[in-house]
Structure 1
Amino acid sequence: MTPLTDSSTARVFGLEGRHALVTGGASGIGEATVKELVRAGAFVWIADINLYAAEELAQSVGNSRALDLDVTNPDSIAAAVSQIGRLDILVNNAGIGHVGSIEQTEAQDFDRLLNVNVRAVYLVTRSFLPLLLSAVESSGVVGTIVNIASVAGLVGIKQRFAYCTTKGAVVAMTRQLAVEYAKTLRVNAICPGTVETPFVEGYLEKFHKHNKEEVRADLRARQPIGRLGRPDEVASMVRYLASDEAAFITGSLFNIDGGWTAA
């Protein structure tokens, strides 16, 4: 296999000339994905509710632009769509978590997770679909969607009732879209285990402030490889799925979980 170098004219998993959008792109897995897609040659829209952080990232990585986007707000999404003339790759990454069993999950908490983790994926995908479907006309390649789901959408996890429910929905949406648009759009999902991100740090600070390191050790231990994942490891899979080398892959789920779902 040809080594991957920035000087290569035909890089493996190269995305030269492609236009991508990453929701929740200013931090965590989203930030790592932005950096990786830019490194692969794509122009990336960094869509985030935290516009300042998105602008900072855009300045640091180049070949990208910050986009003020609230994925739960149809008006905000419409405004974002109006700024974009072309889109080849959509990464639905934005999401939130919640801790609690069904007995501890209040209706407002459940609705909030459904709104951000499920309805927003629907709203964003539906709004950008015309651009993605026309990608073959503008770039000669089939448009690609990569949804960031979770192992929580594949297995039951204690104290994660709402989160498991919403990530299971993302898995189902991925498969349905892949079948619906089999010849015109590729749609896949990545299901990470626990990854070292501000998302996880926020969870530890909120729910386990006084035993943070003990819980962190437990999070590492439930993944057979014995550590947490890294955002760049997930970003590398996004790059692959968006590339021409993955042209025969659609409707698939990719577990990046240190062996969690295999155990």
Structure 2
Amino acid sequence: MTINFGKMKRGRSTNKSGMYFLNNNYEVLYIDCMGECKQRKEVGEYFVNSGTKRIKLESIGEVGNVIHVPKYRTKCKVCEGSYFSNWQRKSTKRAEYQKNWNDDNADHLIAVRHNARAKKLDLLATLTADIVKEIREEQQGRCILSGLEEELEFEHAVPVANGGGSTFENCYFINPYLNATKGNKNIFEWAKEQYNFIQRRFYNILVPMMAERNGMTPKEYEAFVYNQYNKDEKGIS
């Protein structure tokens, strides 16, 4: 004998769980699937969540106190498989769209991210997607120091932590390894630790480029960078 258990509440909604059918021992035998198939199936066709559902017997017209039944899923295994396959396809499609959007708007994202860092410290933050693109094109898509076409990271000559803003005058592209070794070091002190090839490109290409952007000579630019670090050490803003 089965008992029409009725719709079991799930949270605040009464239409998300199918009909449960029990025998005289209050064991669930069948459940109406709420998935696409809408069929009544044996409990073996459903996955089970952890825990149990507490039901008052009087609510189903039976004598007694309370019974506990397993928390079966609302969809059968077939419908759940179809649901998650569709969900996975949609998720993959969304991920592909997001990746394509990020790739198409890489310069915009760089500008937004680095401007946000500078604004937190009340520093100049004037980067735009066009400015980032201009810097990239000026370097012809190459690392300014290695000269190679490789993965690049956006770098501040004077780090934000040391008072360098996110501006055209303070930024360039560099490969991840060199960027990681530089950290927040004074760029001129850091250059002394590099191979001769990197040092030559530093003094012959990077320093003149940054000096020109700032309307200085290379010597004036070097003094400017050291002054930024001296101010930081003395706590001068």
Provide the TM-score with structure 1 as the length reference.
0.22
Higher relative contact order (CA 8 A, sep 6+): 1
Q: Which has the larger radius of gyration?
A: 2
The answer to which structure has the higher strand fraction is 2
Provide the TM-score with structure 2 as the length reference.
0.24
